[in-house]
Amino acid sequence: MATSIQISEDLQKELVKRKLFEKETYEEVIWDLVEDFQELSKETKEEIAHARAEIEAGNFHTLAEVKKELGI
């Protein structure tokens, strides 16, 4: 069910600034903001911990190394 809300001009201007692309809807902008404040899932937290451990162990390639490998 869709509904209408009233917002101030200042909030509308702020939402416009937060658009990632011109045709992004205000709903999409608001969902992005809501998502920023949601807690990460257990799986995501585990993946982040694993990635940090890999980095600390030196199991990574720098951008410069990858470019050299690819001849870029």
How many other C-beta atoms lie within 10 A of the C-beta of residue 3?
4
3-state secondary structure 1-36: CCCCCCCCHHHHHHHHHCCCCCCCCHHHHHHHHHHH
> Do residues 32 and 18 make contact, with C-beta atoms less than 8 angstroms apart?
yes
Q: How far is CA 66 from the centre of its chain?
A: 24
pTM: 0.54
Average pLDDT over residues 14-30: 94
Could you report the per-residue pLDDT of 51-63, keeping only the tens digit for each? Answer: 999 999 999 999 9
Which pLDDT belongs to residue 3? 87
Interacting residues of 69 by C-beta distance below 8 A, sequence separation 6+: 61
Residue 37 has pLDDT above 90, yes or no: no
Write down the pLDDT at residue 36: 84
Report residue 21's pLDDT band, with 50, 70 and 90 as the boundaries.
Answer: very high
